[in-house]
């Protein structure tokens, strides 16, 4: 029974990791900006969730924080674009490897700055955690969890799962069903042709960055619904590599692939936990899975 | 005679290098105007400058009598100026239909989108057959069709083509030439055709300019130019 519990926890966890990676799918998989700040942006979202709950005059329930983090993330995305990306990608006609590498460096710089800021904040005594705040969890009938077939599941995890699925469905719809989604895909392939087709390429790139940043922050807030304590800047060291693994695993630019990739990694965590009783080597296991899948299918599960 | 496009002493270039030295050119409404010249004469630069992708250094660009010299490219598209660029510049990872949808979704063509789409598919039945295929997998001729189709979906008034015959087999060049004639005769578009292929252009154009080293050196109706001794010698090989 414990094994089954671990599998189910792993799947919920995986869906949430997929949500964390979905913003990266958009900016890296589709627009070809290697956004090394992605993990830091997610951590910022997690911080915001705690700040809203703990440090604002009006307490905002964490179950609403993904929405607020999304809005703040969108504004922050404008700042992120004009400080780190505009000079590099704004005028780029096609996202060549050279442009990709430059974007890697500039977003790395932005990420380090953000990390420093969050770290400074933590050192100042706002080491942020939900510890001792068990009261916030969503309770139904006086209990924070429910049991089904002997597996107990927290309500807050369900809320997190709900948001994760919504977020991923949102990007998929945006990319497949809207013209702006088409424009984003086109702009990475030939941005001059996008201008000749009546769209402002800079606007398209800005929009992509804004959306991706909003998703990163929102996913960070969703993540707090799952882990609930120990939110600190170093979370990035875990979220960023996993996001990259998930995006590559699913296939660059495939949103559904990202979701499935997330579930696979979540399962790896669940099974590792069930077999070894600790998650210590789960990150390594994730990379082994990545290598194996890339050997069999170099373009990723859903890549074309 | 009304002019859809008028260039007055247009100058531009790249970095420190000046390419155009005061180009004067007019595109006559409902006609095909050809801009001819050899490699490096400034033909493509003229088109890039008209569209605003290359910023003009001096001179004026008038579209339907209005000064549009400094408008950014995407705004020019939205008032009816369309360029089918050299080398097609398609998006290889997008399908044929996605190319057309994207073009048809700009404010200018939204309302007429369905109507134009049907006309485009009628003009190029082959594209309809291949509408779900990625552009990168099309043959050269089909890619040129798609590039023209994408331009047509923008609901243009002025249709500019940069070397549409480049890299195509003679039979396909003939097909493209017929298509361009149709755009004038049936679609009632004003066409500005830039070409190295003088024979093909002379066959369909009404009026032509010859550009050398960034300057217009000769202009006239096609019939006049065909009789011009310099054109005969340098371009027609007679």
Q: pLDDT at position A135, please? A: 44
Q: Which of A24-33, B45-54, B137-146 has the lowest mean pLDDT?
A: A24-33
Other CB atoms within 10 A of residue A27 CB: 29
Q: Choosing among A31, A193, A196, which should be mutated to test the B contact, i.e. which has the most B CBs within 10 A?
A: A196
Burial of B237 (0-12, 13-18, 19+ CB in 10 A): exposed
Residues of chain B neighbouring A197 (CB-CB closer than 8 A)? 77, 102-103, 106, 150, 154
Distances (CA, A) of A282 to A38, A160, A242: 21, 21, 11
**Secondary structure class of A69 (helix, strand, coil):** helix
Q: DSSP alpha helices (H): ranges in B64-197? A: 73-78, 96-104, 113-123, 125-129, 140-152, 170-185
**Secondary structure class of B8 (helix, strand, coil):** strand
CB contact under 8 A, B82 and A196: yes
**Secondary structure class of A182 (helix, strand, coil):** helix
- Please give the domain boundaries of chain A with CATH numbers for all domains: 2-296 (1.10.3470)
CB contact under 8 A, B53 and A192: yes
CB contact under 8 A, A179 and B102: yes
Counting one residue from A and one from B, how many pairs have CB atoms under 8 Å apart? Answer: 61
Average pLDDT of the residues of chain A: 86
- Residue A69 scores a pLDDT above 60: yes
CB contact under 8 A, A183 and B102: yes
More confident residue, A165 or A130: A165
- Residue A79 scores a pLDDT above 70: yes
More confident residue, A217 or A234: A217
Residue ranges covered by each domain of chain B = 1-80+157-238, 87-155
Residues 6+ apart with CB under 8 A from A162: none
CB contact under 8 A, A179 and B105: yes
> What tokens does A118 get?
């969050």
CB contact under 8 A, A198 and B92: no
CB contact under 8 A, B154 and A198: yes
CB contact under 8 A, B77 and A198: yes
Smallest CA–CA separation between B232 and chain A, in Å? Answer: 36
State how far the Cα of A164 lies from the Cα of A212, in Å rounded to an integer. Answer: 14
pLDDT in tens, B39-52: 889 999 999 999 99
> What tokens does B140 get?
């050269």
Smallest CA–CA separation between B163 and chain A, in Å? Answer: 16
More confident residue, A228 or A65: A65
pLDDT in tens, A192-227: 999 999 999 999 999 999 999 999 999 999 998 888
Terminal alpha carbon distance of chain B? 32
> What tokens does B41 get?
């004469």
pTM of the model: 0.86
CB contact under 8 A, A197 and B51: no
Q: Which residue of A has its CA nearest to B105?
A: A179
- Domain B1-80+157-238: give its CATH superfamily: P-loop containing nucleotide triphosphate hydrolases (3.40.50.300)
Other CB atoms within 10 A of residue A39 CB: 27
Kindly state the greatest CA–CA separation across chain B: 50
Strand ranges across the sheet with B58-63: B17-28, B3-14, B58-63, B66-67
Smallest CA–CA separation between A165 and chain B, in Å? Answer: 26
Smallest CA–CA separation between A189 and chain B, in Å? Answer: 6
- What letter does residue A124 receive in the DSSP assignment? I
pLDDT in tens, B78-125: 999 999 999 999 999 899 999 999 999 999 999 999 999 999 999 999
- Average of pLDDT values for A90-115? 88
Contact call for residues A111 and A44 (beta carbons, < 8 A)? no
> What tokens does B187 get?
């679609």
State how far the Cα of B88 lies from the Cα of B105, in Å rounded to an integer. Answer: 20
CB contact under 8 A, A182 and B72: no
Residues of chain A neighbouring B91 (CB-CB closer than 8 A)? 185-186, 189-190, 193
Contact call for residues A219 and A25 (beta carbons, < 8 A)? no
State how far the Cα of A174 lies from the Cα of B121, in Å rounded to an integer. Answer: 27
- Residue A134 scores a pLDDT above 50: no
Q: DSSP alpha helices (H): ranges in chain A? A: 2-24, 38-54, 65-80, 86-89, 97-121, 155-177, 179-189, 191-196, 201-227, 236-250, 255-276, 282-296
- Average of pLDDT values for B209-232? 91
- What letter does residue A234 receive in the DSSP assignment? G
Rg of chain A, C-alpha, whole Å:
19
pLDDT in tens, A246-296: 999 998 888 889 999 999 999 999 898 888 877 778 888 988 998 998 899
Q: What angle do CA A273, A278, A281 make, to 5 degrees?
A: 90
> What tokens does A74 get?
């969108």
> What tokens does B162 get?
């940069």
Q: Choosing among B102, B104, B107, B160, which should be mutated to test the A contact, i.e. which has the most A CBs within 10 A?
A: B102
Contact call for residues B152 and B116 (beta carbons, < 8 A)? yes
**Secondary structure class of B206 (helix, strand, coil):** coil
Q: Which residue of A has its CA nearest to B81?
A: A196
- The label of the residue with tokens 């703040």 reads A72
Question: Which of A190, A197, A304 is the closest to B103 by Cβ?
Answer: A197
**Secondary structure class of A292 (helix, strand, coil):** helix
> What tokens does B210 get?
């010859």
CB contact under 8 A, A198 and B106: yes
Burial of A126 (0-12, 13-18, 19+ CB in 10 A): middle
Distances (CA, A) of A36 to A30, A32, A96, A240: 15, 12, 17, 8
CB contact under 8 A, A196 and B92: no
Residues 6+ apart with CB under 8 A from A190: A93, A94, B89, B90, B91
Q: pLDDT at position B155, please? A: 95
- What letter does residue A93 receive in the DSSP assignment? S
Pairing of strands B32-36, B190-195: parallel
Residues of chain A neighbouring B80 (CB-CB closer than 8 A)? none
CB contact under 8 A, A197 and B53: no
Model confidence at A121, pLDDT cuts 50, 70, 90, reads confident
Q: pLDDT at position B107, please? A: 93
Smallest CA–CA separation between B168 and chain A, in Å? Answer: 21
Name the interface residues of A facing B (CB cutoff 8 Å): 179, 182-183, 185-186, 189-190, 192-193, 195-201, 304
Q: pLDDT at position A52, please? A: 81
State how far the Cα of B62 lies from the Cα of B53, in Å rounded to an integer. Answer: 16
Q: Which of A190-194, B30-34, B149-153 has the lowest mean pLDDT?
A: A190-194
CB contact under 8 A, B89 and A199: no
Residues 6+ apart with CB under 8 A from A209: A27, A31, A33, A77, A78, A80, A81, A85
Could you report the predicted ipTM of this complex, rounded to two decimals?
Answer: 0.92
């Amino acid at each position: 029974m414990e094994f089954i519990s671990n599998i189910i926890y792993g799947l919920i966890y995986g869906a949430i990791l997929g949500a964390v990676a979905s913003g990266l799918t958009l900016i890296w998989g589709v627009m070809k900006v290697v956004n090394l700040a992605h993990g830091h942006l997610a951590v910022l979202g997690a911080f915001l969730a705690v700040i809203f709950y703990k440090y604002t005059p009006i307490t905002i329930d964490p179950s609403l924080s993904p929405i607020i983090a999304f809005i703040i993330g969108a504004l922050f995305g404008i700042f992120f674009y004009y400080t780190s990306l505009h000079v590099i990608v704004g005028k780029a006609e096609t996202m060549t490897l050279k442009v990709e590498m430059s974007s890697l460096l500039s977003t790395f710089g932005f990420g380090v700055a953000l990390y420093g800021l969050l770290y400074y904040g933590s050192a100042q005594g706002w080491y942020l955690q939900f510890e001792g705040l068990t009261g916030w969890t969503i309770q139904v009938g006086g209990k924070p969890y429910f049991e089904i077939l002997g597996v107990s599941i927290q309500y807050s995890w369900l809320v997190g799962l709900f948001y994760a699925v919504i977020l991923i469905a949102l990007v998929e719809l945006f990319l497949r069903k809207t013209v702006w989604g088409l424009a984003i895909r086109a702009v990475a392939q030939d941005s001059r042709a996008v201008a000749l087709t009546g769209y402002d390429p800079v606007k398209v790139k800005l929009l992509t960055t804004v959306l991706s940043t909003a998703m990163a922050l929102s996913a960070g807030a969703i993540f707090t619904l799952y882990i609930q304590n120990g939110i600190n800047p170093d979370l990035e060291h875990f979220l960023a590599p996993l996001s990259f693994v998930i995006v590559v695993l699913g296939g660059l630019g495939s949103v559904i692939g990202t979701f499935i990739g997330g579930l696979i990694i979540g399962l790896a965590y669940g099974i590792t936990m069930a077999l070894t009783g600790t998650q210590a080597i789960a990150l390594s296991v994730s990379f082994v899975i990545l290598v194996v899948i890339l050997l069999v299918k170099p373009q990723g599960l859903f890549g074309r | 005679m009304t002019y859809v496009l008028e260039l007055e002493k247009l100058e531009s270039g790249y970095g420190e290098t000046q390419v155009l030295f005061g180009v004067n050119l007019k595109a006559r409404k409902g006609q095909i105007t050809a801009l001819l010249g050899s490699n490096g004469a400034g033909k493509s630069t003229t088109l890039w400058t008209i569209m605003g992708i290359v910023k003009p250094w001096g001179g004026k660009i008038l579209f339907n009598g209005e000064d549009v010299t400094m408008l950014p490219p995407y705004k020019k598209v939205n008032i009816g100026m369309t360029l089918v660029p050299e080398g097609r510049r398609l998006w290889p990872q997008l399908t044929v239909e996605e190319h057309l949808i994207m073009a048809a979704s700009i404010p200018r063509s939204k309302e007429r989108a369905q109507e134009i789409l049907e006309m485009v598919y009628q003009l190029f039945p082959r594209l309809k057959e291949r509408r779900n295929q990625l552009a990168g997998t099309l043959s050269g001729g089909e890619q040129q069709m798609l590039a023209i189709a994408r331009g047509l979906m923008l609901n243009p008034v002025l249709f500019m083509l940069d070397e549409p015959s480049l890299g195509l087999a003679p039979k396909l060049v003939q097909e493209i030439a017929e298509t361009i004639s149709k755009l004038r005769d049936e679609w009632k578009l004003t066409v500005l055709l830039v070409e190295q292929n003088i024979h093909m252009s002379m066959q369909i154009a009404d009026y032509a300019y010859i550009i050398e080293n960034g300057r217009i050196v000769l202009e006239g109706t096609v019939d006049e130019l065909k009789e011009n001794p310099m054109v005969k010698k340098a371009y027609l090989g007679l």
